[in-house]
Amino acid sequence: MKYFTHFTLIAITLCLVACQTPNQPNSVPLAKVRAQLPSDWIDLAPSDPKMAYLDPVTRKSLIHFRKSLAAERSTLAYGFHGGYSDATYTKMREMNEECNKSYCANAVVIGRDE
């Protein structure tokens, strides 16, 4: 019984030590990261350094979306109406938001002290 009590105390102590939470809350400078966001990812040059901080899936989606915009600009409907469709403008906003989220979630961006 003595060993069981001793073992239980050690186990409880290890659990308490292993499950400690940090003393300070996570203080990611998200406002500073958001200030670095470009106004429009769609018009951002492919060689811009910020592009490297997008996750690969988002970067591919952005490149594909840019190609679809170029194809839409060459249509008669674009020339006749002088702009994109409402659905395209909605997709532009969604793509920019997706890129913003990807950039803000990048560990390197969050950890930079600029």
* pLDDT surpasses 50 at 85: yes
Contact 65, 95 (CB under 8 A): yes
Least Cα distance to 54 among 15, 106, 14, 112 occurs for 106
pTM for the predicted model, two decimal places: 0.66
Contact 48, 114 (CB under 8 A): no
pLDDT tens-digit series, residues 30-84: 677 778 889 999 999 989 999 999 999 999 999 999 999 999 999 888 888 888 8
What is the CB neighbour count within 10 angstroms for residue 33?
A: 19
The pLDDT mean for the chain works out to 78
